[in-house]
């Protein structure tokens, strides 16, 4: 809901401008306070003649630091580490999105909505992985583990080390899927009920 009142809209626009430039304004105010305090200290202790040198040194140092902070990789590294530490867990939004995406992908592949049983399988597959990531993961370990398990020479990418399928366990038979084909397309299917647990977009990609 927004407002049609012209005065309120004018105030909202200026609040937005002040909020958007708040960080820069705070830096300017902090810099002015620092310069004033420094110049006052120099004058108090009889070093007022060094005021121009102080101003030039502070200005040059600020510019050099800003350049190194952004162009030297510190800014990007800080943001990456902050994201890794603060967003390395699965939240409710991911759970909802993945179930919707899984349902839409199934419908697109099969040309029909999933049945109640198929919808339950989609939800179970998503929920199992979501719970695994719920408490957070170590990003570097996850990347290393994924690279090791997915790049075995001659192994389909649907299968991890030792031939264990990456697809979820069948909700009906409680069995891991085996490699097979469906309409000429390689898939991972349950050996008990033949339900498809994993189907790539076109074909199973082989590493190596």
How does pLDDT run across 117-146, given as a tens digit for each residue? 999 999 999 998 899 888 887 777 766 766
- Measured at the CA of 169, the angle between CA 142 and CA 95, to 5 degrees, comes to 60
Among 86, 106, 126, identify where a domain stops: 86
Contacts of 140 (CB under 8 A, 6+ apart): none
One domain for residues 123 and 163: no
Q: Are 119 and 110 in contact (CB under 8 A)?
A: no
**Rg of the Cα trace of the chain?**
29
Element (H, E) at 117: helix 116-134
CA–CA distance, 19 with 42 (Å, rounded to integer):
35
Domain count, the chain: 3
Helix (H, G, I), strand (E, B) or coil at 32: helix
Distances (CA, A) of 37 to 28, 51, 62, 101: 14, 11, 17, 58
Among 47, 68, 86, identify where a domain stops: 86
Residue 206: φ, ψ to 5° = -105, 130
Which residue range forms the structural domain that includes residue 162? 156-208
One domain for residues 62 and 26: yes
Q: Please tell me the predicted confidence (pLDDT) of residue 133.
A: 85
One domain for residues 132 and 74: no
Helix axes 6-20, 22-44, angle to 10 degrees: 60
Q: With a cut of 70, which residues of the chain have pLDDT below it?
A: 1, 142-143, 145-171, 174, 176-177, 182-186, 197-208
Q: Please tell me the predicted confidence (pLDDT) of residue 147.
A: 58
**Residue 143 domain-assigned (yes or no):** no
**Residue 47 domain-assigned (yes or no):** yes
Q: Please tell me the predicted confidence (pLDDT) of residue 4.
A: 81
One domain for residues 11 and 28: yes
Q: Please tell me the predicted confidence (pLDDT) of residue 20.
A: 87
CA–CA distance, 89 with 136 (Å, rounded to integer):
4
One domain for residues 10 and 61: yes
One domain for residues 163 and 198: yes
């Amino acid at each position: 809901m927004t407002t049609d009142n012209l005065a309120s809209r004018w105030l909202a626009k200026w609040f937005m401008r002040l909020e958007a430039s708040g960080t820069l304004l705070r830096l300017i105010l902090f810099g002015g306070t620092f310069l004033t305090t420094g110049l006052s200290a120099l004058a108090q202790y009889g070093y007022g003649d060094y005021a121009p040198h102080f101003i030039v040194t502070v200005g040059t140092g600020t510019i050099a630091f800003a350049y190194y902070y952004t162009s030297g990789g510190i800014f990007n590294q800080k943001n990456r580490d902050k994201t890794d530490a603060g967003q390395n867990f699965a939240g409710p939004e991911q759970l909802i999105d993945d179930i919707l995406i899984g349902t839409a992908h199934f419908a697109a592949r099969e040309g029909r909505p999933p049945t109640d049983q198929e919808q339950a399988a989609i939800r179970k597959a998503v929920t199992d992985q979501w719970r695994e990531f719920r408490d957070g993961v170590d990003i570097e370990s996850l990347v290393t583990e994924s690279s090791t398990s997915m790049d075995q020479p001659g192994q389909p990418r649907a299968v991890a080390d030792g031939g264990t399928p990456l697809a979820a366990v069948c909700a009906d038979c409680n069995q891991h899927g085996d490699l097979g084909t469906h309409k000429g397309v390689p898939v991972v299917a349950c050996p008990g009920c033949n339900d498809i647990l994993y189907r790539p977009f076109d074909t199973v990609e082989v590493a190596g």
